[in-house]
Amino acid sequence: MSALTFEELAALMKKGAGLTVDPADMASRPDAGFDEFGLDSLGLLGIVGELENRHGRPLPADADRCKTPQEFLDLVNNTLMTGA
């Protein structure tokens, strides 16, 4: 299973929240808050749901509380890679 990337996260933000975010901009500012990219908690919840459906397994309960793209990618990738 491959790791979730900034490019895939940007695509999920477009699909789930209708936001167009430049993945290179997100990658250059990985610790900027999701709010700086226009993503709110409801949008992040939709992304979590999409990933859970895609991978057939739940993400940690606090996945929708991540504040930055890097924090979210680290949590998701650690969960998917370890199967935890």
pTM of the model: 0.92
User: How confident is the model over 29-84, as pLDDT tens digits?
Assistant: 999 999 999 999 999 999 999 999 998 989 999 999 999 999 999 999 999 888 65
Q: Give the whole-angstrom CA distance, residue 34 versus residue 41.
A: 9
Torsion angle of C-alpha atoms 77, 74, 84, 65, degrees rounded to 10: -120
* CATH code assigned to 6-82: 1.10.1200.10
Rounded to whole angstroms, how far apart are CA atoms 69 and 10? 10
C-alpha of 6 from chain center: 8
Per-residue pLDDT reduced to its tens digit, 2-43: 789 999 999 999 998 899 999 999 999 999 999 999 999 999
pLDDT value of position 80: 83
